[in-house]
Chain A
């Protein structure tokens, strides 16, 4: 019960933002939750959000872990995903006939590349103690050019049956494939947390690396590990993104997604200076951001202006959630409580006083 309460209070911010967005959407049109069946698959606002947020959700999970252990952020995730997906596309394109095996091998190959990129960032951060943001700035700067070189030309097209199914729907399955893949990925992460001490180790390293070392946990290895996991996340996100798009656009694929991923981590109630973390929070945060994007679209705001509205919304969100405002509300709440307590006591005391004064006057009369 107690842990439940704690978890819920942690998720208060993302959940309340989500609720607010839902209310706005319902005001705009009561059919917000309507889901229609097209060609045997579900479509509608909610499936669209789940579909659109897939990559962001996966990347936010990695970002949460990197943030918790290294006390910093990886800003090269979009570029890393572009490189891994470029490798995937090249492998698929060189195959004579694209079978499921081709796709799987291509995907595994891109995972290996993801691991290598994660290891690169991880080495800089854990061994050379470079600030995570500075370390990943290198890949952020050069990543898209590397992806372009792998592509060899502008936007290779990924035109095959299986990619199409992965990017949209598999006939006969009512849920869009990226949503399924995301759910599977989240489930795998859940299993990872269940079967290992990842949480304990990462949190310990993030909170107190000195103490971690003295208790037998090597902070370097753990930080390195989180970057490896991040590498896998970028490979999976890149895989989904490129199959969705049907072509590899090395310039625009998952462009600036690290901003949203960092934001998802923050909305999820996680401290960006590391320590204890909530993956659930980040996941909800990621869906919230997608919901926000689509709400702004739905409100028919000029696409050129959308970023401004998003920025304003985020400012309000961050100010409301800031420790300053929270402390103010807690204090105000306490004051209201003590005031009501006091006033009830005061009435008691007045009653007592009345009794006293009558006895006093009685004594005087004597």
Chain B
């Protein structure tokens, strides 16, 4: 069976100041093919997409669409030629109806034929099997359905290529499957789909071909069935893979009279977590396990007083202390890396240097600014220690990749030399290489005597690093697992059966 090539890219290069984002990359998409583009953050996936859709202009190379050389200047042009793109964040208007969302801005005719539009929308929804009505308001649809409507909008007009950039990151498992149904339907119609995701299982479930990029270079194009997962990872990472398997947990340092570094009794916060007791020993790494919404983040936030604390007693080294605001917590030697990096962590427009010294500077006081020289010493020390990739310490943090931003926030806390550091989803949305680096760092810090709480939605990450897991369900603690050889099944078991008695 000879499948027809719709999109071919040859020798594509694209540079940004100081970075070669794409270096002579080839890419080929055939009719009716689901093609996953894989790589770490910064590998060049997004740049590749943006070159196709005309967001960026390529520096060199040729792109042909069905044999015709193309050169899009705007995303709209690409759209008109049948290349639809759906991004990670749903870019629709929640207050409009489904049909309006599908057709708005599509026609230049100022008079809208509502009846016709709704009929057309209904037809399209039916044919794609999307469970929504045309006149329904968008907000009343689930996230997955909204995502599908975004796709319907993209594929509406004679679509040849559909680009999906991390479409599944905010969907739950069932929703992912409904989305995959839709992707298969489109595939049968001969649409070529480019699929970008961080979830390896999803790649194996749906894609036909995989193209791997690393550091802006093409590693290769593979048949999905012919590329075992472990090989895919090693191709994405280069040589980091060995490091994962080498990770070794340490037993916590237990002193003879075990006074916990931190102890909270009956802690509760405005975020609605049930009053809970929690203590952590010196050099211990523990984790809060549980499903999304189980209260794992809320508990961590309650400890740090990130949400308004409504009750409970807190002790540091057995001594009662007051922690009512984050500043109190910081002064007691507690650090908290928030789950929402963009919303709660980075100060977007400030330099990497200012972002690193921020908390230490706050600790030192309003009237005692660090000299620029001192700040630079701190910044460059941690940029080196944590291998933060940035052109200079003056670069605004927003222009760094997600993984590097996370490292800057980590550096910010490490600089304050905390007794107890809470890491809430430090590995979310960052590349695998950095994930491993962070896990290694957690173990190293614990070995040096720091107490850490490590929260991750990927249970294996916690199993690799934590010697104690606190399992949460419905905003309360339902169990605790200790030991160096915990398995995923044990955790699942507690989540499934805990809390009933």
Question: Which A residues are within 8 Å of any B CB, using their own CB?
Answer: 2-3, 6, 194-198, 200-201, 203-204, 207-208, 210-218, 275-276
Contact = CB atoms under 8 A, between A and B. Distances in A.
Q: Indicate the member of B338, B345, B347, B350 with the most A CB atoms within 10 Å.
A: B347
A215 B392 contact: no
A275 B304 CA distance: 26
Which of B348, B350, B365 is packed against the most chain A CB atoms within 10 Å?
Answer: B350
A215 B350 contact: no
Interface in B343-369: 343-350, 354, 358-359, 361-363, 365-369
Contact of A216 (B327, B338, B343, B346): B327
B343 A204 contact: no
Contact of A208 (B325, B348, B359, B367): B348
A211 B345 contact: yes
Contact of A211 (B330, B346, B368, B392): B346
B361 A214 contact: no
Contacts of B296: none
A215 B358 contact: yes
A195 B327 contact: no
Contacts of A213: 325-326
A196 B326 contact: no
A196 B359 contact: no
Nearest to B340: A210
B410 to A, nearest CB: 13
16 contacts: A195-B369, A196-B367, A197-B361, A197-B362, A200-B358, A201-B366, A207-B348, A208-B343, A211-B345, A211-B346, A212-B347, A214-B336, A214-B345, A215-B359, A216-B325, A275-B349
A207 B359 contact: no
A210 B350 contact: no
Most buried by A among B306, B343, B367, B369: B369
What are the 10 tightest A-B residue pairs by CB atom distance, in nearest-first order?
A216-B327, A216-B362, A215-B359, A216-B330, A197-B369, A210-B344, A276-B349, A207-B347, A214-B326, A204-B347
Interface in B17-49: none
B476 to A, nearest CB: 24
Contact of A204 (B326, B350, B394): B350
Interface of B: 304, 306, 325-327, 330-331, 336, 338, 343-350, 354, 358-359, 361-363, 365-369, 392, 394, 412
Contacts of B365: 197
B402 to A, nearest CB: 16
Given A197-B366, A211-B345, A218 B392 contact: no
Given A195-B367, A197-B366, A201-B366, A3 B394 contact: yes
Contact of A215 (B326, B343, B348, B368): B326
A343 to B, nearest CB: 15
Contacts of B354: 200, 203
Contacts of B347: 203-204, 207-208, 211-212
Nearest to B304: A214
B326 A216 contact: yes
A340 to B, nearest CB: 15
B338 A200 contact: no
Contacts of A276: 349-350
A215 B349 contact: no
A2 B358 contact: no
Main secondary structure of the interface of A (DSSP, over half): helix
A214 B350 contact: no
Given A195-B367, A196-B369, A200-B369, A216 B359 contact: yes
B138 to A, nearest CB: 27
Nearest to A274: B349
Given A216-B330, A216-B363, A208 B346 contact: yes
Contacts of B361: 197, 200
Given A197-B366, A208-B343, A218-B325, 5 more contacts: A197-B368, A207-B350, A211-B343, A215-B358, A215-B412
B355 to A, nearest CB: 9
A203 B304 CA distance: 24
A214 B424 CA distance: 13
B17 to A, nearest CB: 12
B345 A196 contact: no
Contact of B366 (A194, A196, A208): A196
A14 to B, nearest CB: 20
Contacts of B412: 215
A197 B366 CA distance: 5
A237 B487 CA distance: 70
A218 B346 CA distance: 16
B371 to A, nearest CB: 10
A135 B438 CA distance: 46
Contacts of B343: 208, 210-211
A211 to B, nearest CB: 5
B301 to A, nearest CB: 9
B423 to A, nearest CB: 13
Contacts of B362: 197, 215-217
Contacts of A214: 304, 306, 326, 336, 338, 344-345
A196 B365 CA distance: 9
A275 B349 CA distance: 8
A311 to B, nearest CB: 31
Contacts of B359: 215-216
Contacts of B350: 200, 203-204, 207, 276
Contacts of A196: 366-367, 369
Contacts of A210: 343-344
A203 B350 CA distance: 8
A220 to B, nearest CB: 11
A352 to B, nearest CB: 16
A196 B338 CA distance: 27
A196 B336 CA distance: 25
Contacts of B367: 195-197
A69 to B, nearest CB: 13
B361 to A, nearest CB: 6
A215 B330 contact: yes
B23 to A, nearest CB: 18
Nearest to A212: B347
Contacts of A3: 394
B225 to A, nearest CB: 42
A245 to B, nearest CB: 37
Contacts of B348: 207-208
A208 B359 CA distance: 14
A3 B372 CA distance: 12
Nearest to B364: A197
A166 to B, nearest CB: 31
Contacts of A218: 325, 327
A204 B345 CA distance: 11
